[in-house]
Structure 1
C-alpha cells in the first residue's frame, strides 16, 4: 500500500523545483499574506499544496490529503487521520516566514498515515536539494546514507529546541538555566521544524520539546527520529500519533536523556501550568 518512497521523493523534488525554488527571493508583496497576525502564507504555499495533493493521490489512488492550508479553511479535515483510508499529510512550505524574508531555512514535509499511524515520511530542503526519508521499520536515510541520531559525549553540551511558553517560563526551566544549565547548551527556534528534525538527524541538535503538535509539522519527523534510533513520546510517556493534540512531545537521542528531561523539566512544567490554569 505504500508507494515507492523514491518515487514520492522524486515527485516532491520536481514540484519544489517548479513551484518553490524559482520564487526564493523573488516573491512580490502581493504574493505574501497572513492567515493570522504573524502566521504567513504565500502563493508558493498554495501552489505547492495543490500540486503535491494532486500528484500524491495519483501515486496512491483512494488516498486522502490533509494539507496545512486546507486545514486552515476546514479543521474538520483532521478527522480523517484516524480513519481507514491512507492519508497524505503535507506541509507545502515549512518556514513560510523565513521564505518570505529571503532566509534559506525552509523545508517541504510529507507523511503517509494509515489507520492513525505514520508509515512513511519525507523532509526535503529544496534550496540545498537534500532529501531525508523513512519508512516504518526500515530506517531513516539522507540520500543513500542511513541516519543515526547523535548521542553526545558526556563532556559535551546538549543543543536543541524548546517550544511552548509554559515550558520556557516555568520554574524548572529557570532553575536549570540559573544553575549554569548543566549540560543544556544552545536552545533555539529555527522557525522551521523540518530543519530542526534534519539537524537532529545529522547530529547538530540533540533534543526537541514541542507543544504545537500540528501533524504536518511532526508526523514525518517523529517517525524519522524513531527510525534513526531516537526516542519520541508525549510528555506523559504515551506514544505520539499524528492526530495527537496533547500538550507536549519530547524527543531525545536515547531513553536515559528522555527520562531525565521528562522528570526534571516536562512533568514539573506541566504540573505548574495545571496549577496556574486552575486559579
Structure 2
C-alpha cells in the first residue's frame, strides 16, 4: 500500500487507548463523566474524550502528516469534517463506538479507525477492548481477525439465504416517524432485525459470517468507513440506497450491506423501501 501508515502501529495505538483510558472507566463512570450531546441517546463520556486525546497525540508516530478526524474533535470543530474528502491522507477515529452501551455498563463497544487516501478508504481497524482482538482490512488484501497471540484468520461473509431466513441489524432511529413505521413493518419479512447500538460489533458480525445484512441511515465517517471496507473485503456487497458506492465524503443517503448483491437488491426492494 502506498498510504504510508503503519497499520500494526495504529492497531496497537487503539489497544493502548483502550487499556489506559477506556477499560479503567468501564462500569466505573461517575455522574459527571457522562454528558448528553444531541439527545438522551447520544452520549459522550470521559472515556471517549480521554481515548481520543491519547490517539490524537500519538497519531504522528504511525501516520506522519495525516489529517486526524476524530468524533470528539469534530464535535468541537465541525469544519474539520469538510477537510476529509480532499485530504491526501487522513486517519478517522471513533474512540468509543457504542458509547450508549459503554455508559450503561453493557460490554458491547469498540474502538475504530480508518485510513483515507485521496477520498478513498484504504484501511480499516475495529478493536474490541474486552476480547482484546482486532478485525483489520487493507483494500485488496482481505479482512482478517488478528488476535493478541499473533494468530490471524481470514474472514468471509456467510452465504446468502432467502429473505425470510435473514438475520441482520437495522438502525431505524433516524427515519422520520411515518417512514420508520413503514420500514419497521417491512422488517417483519426477515427472520430477525435488531440493533446492538454498536456499529463496531455489527460490522464484525457481518464480516465474520454471523449475520446477513446491516442498514444505517446517518453516515458519520467514524461509524462506517472501517466497517464497510472490512465487510467488502470479507465479500459483502455495500452501497447507498440509490445503489452508489459509499465514500468518505458521504454523510447521508443511507447505507445497506448484505452478503451478496442479490440479497442487497431483495432487501432494498422488500424492506428498506423508503
| Fold match (TM-score > 0.5) | yes
For 1:28-43, list aligned pairs within 5 A: 28-38=30-40, 39-43=42-46
Show structure 1 runs of 5+ residues with no match.
270-279
Does the aligned pair in 2 maintain the 1:162–1:168 contact within 8 Å? no
Alignment match, 1:44: 47
Please state how far the C-alpha of 1:175 moved relative to its aligned partner. 4.8
Using the TM superposition, name which of 68-77 and 39-48 deviates more. Answer: 68-77
Alignment match, 1:275: none
Alignment partners' CA distance in 2, 1:188 and 1:120: 27
Alignment match, 1:272: none
Alignment partners' CA distance in 2, 1:132 and 1:211: 23
Alignment partners' CA distance in 1, 2:234 and 2:6: 20
Show structure 2 runs of 5+ residues with no match.
147-151
1:213 aligns with 2:224: no
Alignment partners' CA distance in 1, 2:171 and 2:71: 19
Q: TM-score, normalised by structure 1?
A: 0.89
1:112 to 112, 115, 130: 115
Does the aligned pair in 1 maintain the 2:157–2:210 contact within 8 Å? no
Instruction: Sort the Cα spacing of 1:176 and 1:105 in 2 relative to 1 into closer, same or farther, 3 A.
Output: closer
Please state how far the C-alpha of 1:173 moved relative to its aligned partner. 5.1
Using the TM superposition, name which of 56-65 and 124-133 deviates more. Answer: 56-65
Alignment match, 1:169: 181
Alignment partners' CA distance in 2, 1:155 and 1:240: 24
RMSD, matched Cα: 1.7
Please state how far the C-alpha of 1:6 moved relative to its aligned partner. 1.8
Instruction: Sort the Cα spacing of 1:250 and 1:153 in 2 relative to 1 into closer, same or farther, 3 A.
Output: closer
Alignment partners' CA distance in 2, 1:195 and 1:36: 23
Alignment match, 2:17: 15
Q: What are the superposed Cα offsets for residues 213-251 of structure 1, whole Å, 9 maximum, x if unpaired? A: 010000000000100011011111111001102321110
Alignment partners' CA distance in 2, 1:201 and 1:207: 10
Q: What are the superposed Cα offsets for residues 15-44 of structure 1, whole Å, 9 maximum, x if unpaired? A: 211111111111111211112222111111
Instruction: Give secondary structure in 2 for the equivalent of 1:204.
Output: coil
How many pairs were matched up? Answer: 262
Q: TM-score, normalised by structure 2?
A: 0.90
Alignment partners' CA distance in 1, 2:114 and 2:235: 19
1:158 to 147, 162, 166: 166
Instruction: Sort the Cα spacing of 1:22 and 1:260 in 2 relative to 1 into closer, same or farther, 3 A.
Output: same
Alignment partners' CA distance in 1, 2:31 and 2:171: 30
Alignment partners' CA distance in 2, 1:78 and 1:176: 33
Please state how far the C-alpha of 1:55 moved relative to its aligned partner. 1.5
Runs of 4+ in 1 over 4 A off after TM superposition: 152-156
Instruction: Sort the Cα spacing of 1:140 and 1:175 in 2 relative to 1 into closer, same or farther, 3 A.
Output: closer
Alignment partners' CA distance in 2, 1:32 and 1:153: 41
Determine which structure has more spread, i.e. the larger CA radius of gyration. 1
Q: What are the superposed Cα offsets for residues 121-154 of structure 1, whole Å, 9 maximum, x if unpaired? A: 1001101112101001111101100100111555
